[in-house]
Amino acid sequence: MEFVTDPPIAVKIQKMKQRVRWQHPLIVSRQIDQTQLVVDAPDVENPAFSFLVIGDSGSGSHRDHSPQRKIAELMLQHGSSSRFIIHTGDVIYLVGSREYYARNFIQPYREFIVGGDRPKAIQFNQMTFRQPFFLVPGNHDYYDLPLHYGLLLQATAPFRYLLRSRLDFDVGLQGSEQGKAYAQAFLDYLLAIDQPHQLSAHLDRHYTATGTQGRCLRYLPQQFTRLPNRYYQFRYGGIDFFALDSNTFNTPLPLTNHPDELLQRRRLEQQRSNLQQQQQELMQQSMQLDPHQPDQAEQLDDCRTKIEQLQEEEKDINKQLSSDQTVAIDTEQLEWLQQRLIESWFTDEVRGRVLFFHHPPYVTESTKWYQGQTLAVRQRLRSVFDQVAKVVGERAQGQAIVDLVLNGHAHCLEYLRTHETGHADSQINWIVCGGSGYSLRRQRAEGVNLFEEINPYRHQAAKPIATSKLFVGRSGQGSSKHRPYSFLRIDVQAGSPPRFVVQPVIADRYQHQWYEQKLPSFEITN
């Protein structure tokens, strides 16, 4: 039985639409676009600007230290010169519980929040940011905790001790409630406005900007910093930014009755059984460790990290085994992205395009590179890019469909570039920024080059499709283990097409001490 559950895609879509009152008559009558915002800032037109990127950050303290807070302190050194922050998802671990927003988000990022000098007074659903903070939901922001586990946590002391004191899992009684906590914290939660006249007044007050499709939300730092939807678009310095919710188009492609796929199904079932056995062994091992001894406390953190990793692998296998032709996919969001990318390409003042969402289509982190969700997101994004390329045609003049894609989910920092894939996702820069506070992972042993089989049934030779040019993740063994947590500063240069100078910033936890470092910056262009 799964420790955490992931709601069906159809439920995620339906619940999120209800929370923003999607296409409510009062919204339609005002011709409001609920997928766009305009940043009200004096420098928004400046073609040279900087922004920060973090992801997979939402953990509490690790015994005697807090990686997320350490990263936040380093971010403060860049706060005055950076215009906004992008978060690639997994804001709150383990199950997106509202109970953990105070400890796992408000407290570590208090200087970025209005009233942060008194963080305990800030309600999780009433946050206002000092500078723009653009987020997307991660898988953990949608997770729930089965009711019987919640009751055990409430009533059974030994169980609470095992999960919270020994393995330090941050779990609430219900979890995210299908993403409700995330929506209350960051979206314009219109469902909370009961009366029609109050809703009218709210829309007339906050949806006063003019976007490409009509009226849209005006994002005012220090005053009103809600996001219009779980996926959205904004423009800054001539760059179009597209924020996506990949949790609703990451279902693995269905397995068929082809003999090779039937064999794959049996392999997956055996792999799942092995993962479950490993989790039980780690739980037993953790009971023998003393959390008050520094070295054993780090071993407990490793146990927690490994268990969470095994659970994610098991969940991906379950998705592959249960996937069929009837599974709902968020075609509405994908069609929205396709249309908005086309419009962006035919808008003269736009000089570049950046996407950010949680699940990386390309990655070499040891647990994510081969997952069914990774391959599914890759194929569905490719389909969108291919359709956009057909329409854009010669207007692109050799440029990639997008300049940069930012992701999380894989607990590392990685920069990859695709080769010629045979699709419109060729020659694109992909950066995974998922090492900003939670457990770190290693790079796969297979190396830095990703390959793709041309025809898996005929076993034709695989072709290289991407290369990892930088990987920062867990390394070393025992007392020599390095845990390099990270975030990015990205400087966008003036000019068209745009140039991006990427500065990785690292806080390495090594032998119970912190070591700060800046890796050499690198420039990416199309």
Among 305, 322, 339, residue at a domain's last position: 322
Residues 138 and 237 in one domain: yes
Per-residue confidence (pLDDT) for residue 288, from 0 to 100: 81
Domain assignment present for 122: yes
Per-residue confidence (pLDDT) for residue 502, from 0 to 100: 98
CB-based contacts of 194, cutoff 8 Å, min separation 6: none
Domain assignment present for 421: yes
Per-residue confidence (pLDDT) for residue 135, from 0 to 100: 98
Task: Check: CB of residue 372 under 8 Å from CB of residue 252.
Answer: yes
* E strand or H helix that includes residue 67: helix 67-76
Token pair 């908005």 is found at 340
Per-residue confidence (pLDDT) for residue 324, from 0 to 100: 66
Residues 288 and 358 in one domain: no
Residues 407 and 396 in one domain: yes
Per-residue confidence (pLDDT) for residue 460, from 0 to 100: 54
pTM above 0.85, yes or no: yes
Among 322, 338, 356, residue at a domain's last position: 322
Residues 291 and 342 in one domain: no
Helix axes 259-286, 294-322, angle to 10 degrees: 160
Can you say whether the dihedral through the CA atoms of 503, 94, 165, 291 is positive or negative?
A: negative
Q: Tell me which DSSP letter residue 365 carries.
A: B
Residue-range definition of the domain harbouring residue 196: 9-253+323-524
Residues 177 and 286 in one domain: no
Per-residue confidence (pLDDT) for residue 454, from 0 to 100: 61
Residues 239 and 267 in one domain: no
Residues 204 and 339 in one domain: yes
Q: Which of 385, 390, 384, 378 is nearest to 416 (CA)?
A: 378
Residues 501 and 483 in one domain: yes
Q: Which of 105, 139, 140, 145 is nearest to 125 (CA)?
A: 105
Among 322, 351, 374, residue at a domain's last position: 322
Residue-wise DSSP of 253-299: PPP-S-HHHHHHHHHHHHHHHHHHHHHHHHHHHHTTS-TTSHHHHHH
Number of domains in the chain: 2
> Residue-wise pLDDT tens for the chain (526 aa)?
467 889 999 999 999 999 999 999 999 999 999 999 999 999 999 999 999 999 999 987 666 789 999 999 999 999 889 999 999 999 999 899 999 999 999 999 999 999 999 999 999 999 999 999 999 999 999 999 876 555 555 444 444 444 444 445 566 667 999 999 999 999 999 999 999 999 999 999 999 999 999 999 999 999 999 999 999 999 999 999 999 999 999 998 777 666 766 777 788 778 788 888 888 888 888 788 877 777 777 777 777 777 877 877 887 888 778 766 566 789 999 999 999 999 999 999 999 999 999 999 999 999 999 898 999 999 999 999 999 999 999 999 999 999 999 999 999 999 999 999 999 999 999 999 999 999 899 999 999 999 997 655 444 558 899 999 999 999 998 889 999 999 999 999 999 999 999 999 999 999 989 999 989 999 998 8
Spatial separation of the C-alpha atoms in residues 340 and 343, rounded to whole Å: 5
Domain assignment present for 1: no
Domain assignment present for 4: no
User: Where would I find the H helices in 156-253?
Assistant: 157-160, 180-186, 196-206
Residues 209 and 280 in one domain: no
Neighbours of 349 (CB within 10 A): 9
Residues 53 and 195 in one domain: yes
Domain assignment present for 2: no
Q: Please list the residues that pair with 432 across neighbouring strands.
A: 407, 414
Domain assignment present for 61: yes
Residues 34 and 74 in one domain: yes
What are the two backbone dihedrals, phi and then psi, of residue 344, each rounded to the nearest 5 degrees?
A: -60, -40
Question: What CATH code is carried by the domain that includes residue 129?
Answer: 3.60.21.10
Residues 426 and 295 in one domain: no
Domain assignment present for 3: no
Q: Which token pair is 413? A: 């920092």
Domain assignment present for 292: yes
Per-residue confidence (pLDDT) for residue 154, from 0 to 100: 47
Task: Check: CB of residue 47 under 8 Å from CB of residue 351.
Answer: yes
- Is residue 503 exposed (0-12), middle (13-18) or buried (19+ Cβ within 10 Å)? middle
